[in-house]
């Protein structure tokens, strides 16, 4: 999905909110929605081929998305994370992120991280104040090959011990012919990728889950439409009460359940 691009650090348009009054109980976040680098950052010392990443979703739901590349600052990380401003992307060093001063780091937080999390919190709190059912889903994509290893999953569902949303979502995806579903694959909360949900859903006891779609599945408009339609149908019929919220850590393992 194409979004307006902020011209510079001075622009307020570093976070986008679409359909804030959506009828769906879903609030979708795309923490890594853009590969845009404001001109102040140049290319961060990277070649152009390192800068292509894209994901979109279509539902009658509220969408909160970043409009600044995660290479500038990763909104799905806590402020004390070593990769909040990532020094390396997979195996590629990012020269423009080395040796930042506290002032430079604070500027990046104010540019994208803080507005993004403020927007998510504002949307959720307004919904809850109106008594609206709210479920938080974070949507991401992943590379088919990482550190030389091919990843077989077409889509992954990431969750912690709260499986109210994840369990029926996984069950619905497993009914799709020819789709291999990763459960806490290619990542799990233990990989520190669950921050947005931990910050906004868990303290409010909202059903939540994270979706990871393999990049080659959504690399063109046909693939994007395919997965948007599939997920729209699944979420329209989803009943979070059919999941479970346990006290153990069983949801943190890297289990995989393929679909034949």
* Beta-sheet strands, E only, within 116-234: 135-142, 145-146, 149-150, 155-158, 181-183, 208-214
Top-confidence residue, 149 or 256? 149
The pLDDT value given to residue 247: 33
Query: 259 exposed, middle or buried (CB, 10 Å; 0-12, 13-18, 19+)?
Result: middle
The pLDDT mean for the chain works out to: 81
Tens digits of per-residue pLDDT, 21-77?
888 899 999 988 776 655 555 544 444 443 333 322 456 789 998 888 888 899 999
**Is the Cβ–Cβ distance between 208 and 165 less than 8 Å?**
yes
pLDDT attached to residue 55: 26
Percent of the chain with pLDDT over 90: 51
Q: Please write the tens of the pLDDT for every residue from 174-207.
A: 999 999 999 999 999 999 999 999 999 999 999 9
User: pLDDT grade, residue 146 (50/70/90)?
Assistant: confident
Higher pLDDT, 15 or 255: 15
Q: Which two tokens stand for residue 64?
A: 């909160």
pLDDT at position 13: 76
CA distance 132 to 124: 9
Residues 6+ apart with CB under 8 A from 186: 142, 146, 151, 153, 156, 212
3-state helix vs strand vs coil in the chain, percent to 5: 30, 20, 50
* 147-162 mean pLDDT: 94
* 3-class DSSP state of 167: helix
237 Cβ partners below 8 Å, 6+ apart?
172
Packing angle of the helix pair 221-237, 166-174 (nearest 10 deg): 120
**Model pLDDT, residue 32:** 82
Percentage, residues of the chain above pLDDT 70: 78
Is a pLDDT exceeding 70 seen at residue 211?
yes
In whole angstroms, what is the distance from residue 61 CA to residue 127 CA?
Answer: 12
Does the pLDDT at position 8 exceed 70?
A: no
Instruction: Say which residue, 22 or 241, is predicted with more confidence.
Output: 22
- Mean predicted confidence (pLDDT) in 72-101: 89
- pLDDT of 252 reads 32
* Termini Cα distance of the chain: 31
């Amino acid at each position: 999905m194409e979004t307006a691009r902020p011209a510079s650090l001075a622009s307020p348009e570093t976070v986008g909110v679409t359909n804030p009054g959506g009828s769906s109980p879903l609030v979708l976040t795309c923490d890594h929605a853009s590969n845009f680098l404001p001109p102040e950052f140049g290319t961060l010392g990277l070649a152009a081929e390192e800068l292509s990443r894209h994901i979109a979703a279509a539902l009658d739901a509220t969408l909160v998305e970043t409009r600044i590349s995660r290479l500038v600052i990763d909104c799905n990380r806590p402020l004390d994370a070593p990769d909040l401003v990532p020094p390396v992307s997979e195996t590629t060093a990012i020269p423009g992120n080395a040796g930042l001063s506290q002032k430079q780091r604070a500027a990046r937080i104010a540019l994208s991280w803080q507005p993004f999390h403020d927007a998510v919190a504002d949307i959720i709190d307004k919904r809850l104040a109106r008594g609206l059912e709210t479920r938080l889903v974070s949507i991401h994509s992943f590379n088919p090959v990482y550190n030389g290893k091919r990843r077989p999953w077409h889509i992954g569902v990431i969750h912690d011990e709260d499986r109210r949303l994840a369990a029926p979502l996984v069950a619905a995806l497993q009914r799709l012919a020819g789709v291999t579903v990763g459960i806490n694959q290619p990542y799990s909360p233990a990989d520190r990728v669950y921050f947005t949900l931990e910050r906004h859903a868990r303290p409010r006891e909202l059903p939540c889950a994270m979706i990871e779609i393999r990049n080659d599945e959504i690399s063109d408009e046909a693939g994007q439409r395919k997965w948007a339609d599939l997920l729209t149908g699944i979420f329209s019929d989803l009943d979070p009460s059919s999941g479970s919220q346990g006290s153990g850590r069983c949801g943190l393992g890297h289990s995989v359940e393929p679909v034949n």
